[in-house]
Amino acid sequence: MSGGEYEVYTDKFSVVSTDAVSGGAYDITQSGGQYFATTTSQGDFELRGGFQAQEKGILKVDINKNNLSLGKLTTNAIAKDSVQIEVSTDSETGYNLAIRENNDFTSGGDTIADVTDNSVTTGTEEYGIEVLGSDAIFSQDLGIDSSPLNIAATNGRVQKRNTKVTFKASLGSKPSQNRNYTHRVFFDITVNP
C-alpha cells in the first residue's frame, strides 16, 4: 500500500492486545498496529512492535561501465582496464561483493591461465584481477573462475563506498598477440545475514 509520501510494504497487519510481560532481561509490551508501538532493547536483542518492526533495507549498486577492453596484449607490458563499483546499504550487517566468470579468458582454443603467484607479471602468460578500496578483502592479484570469489565486504552500513576492480593480462613467449581474448564476468552482491 503506498501513496503520496508514504509506503506501507506489509499490507496486512494484526493488532495484538495483551498484558505486558517482563522477566529476566526482557520486556514484551502491547502493540496496537501503527500506534502504541514501542521498542524494547536489552543486551544483544531488540523487540520491535507495530509498523516499525517491518524494515525494508536498501542495497544500491552502481557500476561505471559494462564493457572492458585490455587492448593489445604483448610480452613486454601488462594490459589493464578497470571498473568502479559503488555500493550503498543501510543494512546493519553490511554487504558482500563477489565476482565469477562464465569461462576462462580464451580465444578459440587458446586460454590465458589464471595468475597463481599473486602478481600478474610482464613476460609471463597470466590473467587476474586486483581489488582496491577500503572494503577490499585482498590486495594481491588473483584469478577468477565460475565459483564466486569474495572481493569486498563490510559488516555495517556504507554510503557510496567505492571498490575498484582492475583486470590484468600479460603474455609469455608464445605467439598469442593477434588473438581476441574474451569472457564474461558477473558481480554478485548480497546483504550479510
Taking the CA atoms of residue 189, residue 111, residue 142 and residue 159 in that order, the dihedral angle to the nearest 10 degrees is -30
What pLDDT, on the 0 to 100 scale, is given for residue 179?
Answer: 82
What pLDDT, on the 0 to 100 scale, is given for residue 26?
Answer: 57
Nearest to 184 by CA among 171, 159, 167, 162: 167
Q: Which residue stretches of the chain have pLDDT < 70?
A: 1-56, 174-177
What pLDDT, on the 0 to 100 scale, is given for residue 14?
Answer: 52
pTM for the whole thing? 0.72
* Domains with residue ranges and CATH for the chain: 2-53 (no CATH), 59-191 (2.60.120)
- Amino acid occupying residue 82: S
Nearest to 167 by CA among 123, 124, 114: 114
Beta bridge partners of 83: 165
Q: What angle do CA 126, 129, 134 make, to 5 degrees?
A: 155
Asked if 17 and 30 count as a contact pair (C-beta separation under 8 A), the reply is yes
pLDDT digits (tens, 9 = 90+) for 137-155: 999 999 999 999 999 999 9
Asked if 190 and 151 count as a contact pair (C-beta separation under 8 A), the reply is no
pLDDT digits (tens, 9 = 90+) for 93-106: 999 999 999 999 99
What pLDDT, on the 0 to 100 scale, is given for residue 108?
Answer: 86
What pLDDT, on the 0 to 100 scale, is given for residue 36?
Answer: 44
- Amino acid occupying residue 166: T
